[in-house]
Amino acid sequence: MKKNIVVKVQSQSDVKFPEYKTAGSAGADVYAYLSEDISLAPGEFKLIPTGLFLEIPQGYEIQVRPRSGLAAKYGITVLNSPGTIDSDYRGEAKVCLINLGKKMVTISNGDRIAQFVLAPVCCASYQFSQTLSETKRGSGGYGSTGK
């Protein structure tokens, strides 16, 4: 069962609010809010406005994630995926889309462009230490655990 956390939204009356498409959806679809179409050439990225201004409760963030349909069909994804909207940010939520596909793609007003996932945030206390505990992996980096 999903826990319902209220995120306050300020917007113009014609802005589409984030929307969960099914009862099991983790992400709410987010829509472009545009006065004119935006075209993305292959390799190009742009900030796409949503028209949404959010008040996210302290202790939470909204993760901005790609829509799988846009990625699979057109090669469109969120450049800084997942992007984070912090609880103390009050500006317009925008989505940085990039076209990794081979064809020009046009984004129109009302297109579903990303998903918002509300997530709890834990804060760490970073403390200096002279030593770190030993592990089997040790300092093995990228690819060190095999294929």
Taking CA atoms, 124 is separated from 56, 59, 89, 121, 127, in Å, by 20, 13, 20, 10, 9
User: What global pTM score does this model have?
Assistant: 0.89
Measured between its terminal Cα atoms, the distance across the chain in Å is: 36
Amino acid at 138: G
Amino acid at 42: P
As beta bridge partners, residue 61 has 119
Tens digit of each residue's pLDDT, the chain (147 residues): 678 899 999 998 999 999 999 999 999 999 999 999 999 999 999 999 999 999 999 999 999 999 999 999 999 999 999 999 999 999 999 999 999 999 999 999 999 999 999 999 999 999 999 999 999 888 888 777 777
Q: How far apart are CA 20 and CA 30, in angstroms?
A: 9
Judged by phi (left if over 0) then psi (alpha if -120 to 50, else beta), residue 51 lies in left
Tokens of 139: 């300092």
Q: Which domains does the chain carry? A: 8-120 (2.70.40.10)
* pLDDT computed for residue 143 by the predictor: 77
Tokens of 135: 């592990």
Q: How far apart are CA 20 and CA 26, in angstroms?
A: 8
* pLDDT computed for residue 1 by the predictor: 61
100 contacts: CB under 8 Å, gap ≥ 6: 42, 43, 75, 76, 77
The three-class DSSP label of residue 70 is helix
Q: Are 40 and 107 in contact (CB under 8 A)?
A: yes
